[in-house]
Structure 1
């Protein structure tokens, strides 16, 4: 059986108006075309739906039974058409996003909010884990897009890398703010807050201080920069951090953000990557979100934003 949309549409309209000629007018078709469509439908299903009485079609009981099914099919087709239209216009679907802690509280929700502000029917899953876990999630196709510290090359992940510059974070009003650029010598034996030993910024800090012959006084060891910057804002220490953490901290605290920044020499940076699965294409929705995310991450490469 090979029923067509037009056959069902014509049948439902004939049943609704009770006349072939009226159905033709409402459908914009000729009366012979409507009659031929009904005849073709009856031929496909194998039994008559109407009796012919002096040029009129009189619905048989089977037609009334079939009407409910035909209306259901047409409504489902109409709904599917609307859904596909919404999907094509990025108004339907679900985003699955994973990011590391630095991006989870302020940056990624902000980007997601920008993207979804005119898409009330789009759902989103936003999960935070360590960078290695984010990479694994994207590689296994559990998530559409991820943001994490740049991983080693993997065949299962496409990674677009961004180099986020680091600066020195100081308590507001600190005497060192008189300097335009800070060096390890300026921070010699002053209390510092660093992340765990394996973190790339911590390693860069240790190398810079050692090469300058300056003493690195690590007062605090932390897992992320969010608590680190709070300690700096309380005047307890200094730290070297990248733009993502600095901007997120500033936006989260607003007027209570008592931190200022100065460039640090030698230059240091943190490589972050926008990650997508390599073995399957993105949905249109995920592709558009990824495009916006890349634009926003690219903006973090400007160190001037840390003092805005």
Structure 2
């Protein structure tokens, strides 16, 4: 059968109004056009929907049965139209987001809260995993978008990389807090909280201390930098940590209490990336979140720049290596 939604909707209006002329006014078509549409529908169905006697239109028993089906079809169509409108307005659907530990406690939840504030129909699945696990989740298309430490490039993942500098966090009453930029010479032999041995930032930290001929005193070894801030606040050690962890401390309004953030040179990098599946088409909502996250990263860099300053001449900050 070749039946259109317009025919079904017109038939429903005829049944509701009991009149071809009234139905024509409702659907904003001429009476002959509505009559022709009903006749064509009857021909497609192979049975009569109305009995026409003495100028009166009476539905057949078959018309009442067919009306039930039409109501179901049109209700489903109306739901579909609402869903499409929500998707178009980025208010519907579901987002599956994975995030590495450094950004999962504050940075990403804060960003997602902002993004979803005007999207009540949008569902969210949010998990924290290590960057290595996240890489496989994105490559296998189990998640729509992820924020993690930069992986090696592979065809199954599209990525936008950001090269962020690490910063030094220390007690505000420490004599070193009077300096704008700290160096291995300043931290020579002083207790530090560092990440596990083979992490990229731990390797870089060890390298810059060795190159400067300074002793790296690893007092605390961590899986993530966030707990290190508590050790610093307690006066146990210093920490040279990723920018995202330090930024979380700032936006909580705690950086003015007992810790300060200073630039560290030589520069230690912490590269992070926005990851999406390489072989999948991104939804409109995923694209919008991608742009929102990209903007938030740049906002963070500007905020940190204002917090730690430009440093002395000859020590410029690096630009993002964005791909």
TM-score normalised to structure 1 length: 0.96
User: Are 1:204 and 2:207 an aligned pair?
Assistant: no
Contact 1:139-1:156 within 8 A present in 2 as well: yes
* Equivalence map 1:21-170=2 (5 Å): 21-170=21-170
**Mind listing any 5+ residue stretches in structure 1 that lack a counterpart?**
none
Q: What is the rounded CA distance, in whole Å, between the counterparts of 2:300 and 2:164 in structure 1?
A: 6
Deviations 1:66-110 (A, max 9, x none): 111111111111111111111111111000000100011101101
Q: What is the rounded CA distance, in whole Å, between the counterparts of 2:15 and 2:241 in structure 1?
A: 72
Contact 2:147-2:274 within 8 A present in 1 as well: yes
Once the 2 structures are TM-superposed, how far is the Cα of residue 256 of structure 1 from its aligned partner?
8.0
Contact 1:243-1:306 within 8 A present in 2 as well: no
Q: What is the rounded CA distance, in whole Å, between the counterparts of 2:141 and 2:307 in structure 1?
A: 34
Once the 2 structures are TM-superposed, how far is the Cα of residue 184 of structure 1 from its aligned partner?
0.7
Once the 2 structures are TM-superposed, how far is the Cα of residue 250 of structure 1 from its aligned partner?
3.5
Q: Could you tell me which residue of structure 2 aligns to residue 258 of structure 1?
A: 258
Q: Could you tell me which residue of structure 2 aligns to residue 293 of structure 1?
A: 293
Q: Could you tell me which residue of structure 2 aligns to residue 12 of structure 1?
A: 12
Please give the root-mean-square deviation of Cα atoms over the aligned residues, in Å. Answer: 1.6
Once the 2 structures are TM-superposed, how far is the Cα of residue 133 of structure 1 from its aligned partner?
0.5
Secondary structure at the residue paired with 1:254?
coil
Secondary structure at the residue paired with 2:95?
strand
Q: Could you tell me which residue of structure 1 aligns to residue 228 of structure 2?
A: 228
Once the 2 structures are TM-superposed, how far is the Cα of residue 10 of structure 1 from its aligned partner?
1.2
**Mind listing any 5+ residue stretches in structure 2 that lack a counterpart?**
310-323
Q: What is the rounded CA distance, in whole Å, between the counterparts of 2:25 and 2:193 in structure 1?
A: 80
Q: What is the rounded CA distance, in whole Å, between the counterparts of 1:13 and 1:60 in structure 2?
A: 15
Q: What is the rounded CA distance, in whole Å, between the counterparts of 2:143 and 2:69 in structure 1?
A: 39
Query: 4+ runs of 1 displaced by more than 4 Å?
Result: 305-308
Secondary structure at the residue paired with 1:113?
helix
Once the 2 structures are TM-superposed, how far is the Cα of residue 114 of structure 1 from its aligned partner?
0.8
Q: What is the rounded CA distance, in whole Å, between the counterparts of 1:215 and 1:114 in structure 2?
A: 44
Q: What is the rounded CA distance, in whole Å, between the counterparts of 2:307 and 2:244 in structure 1?
A: 9
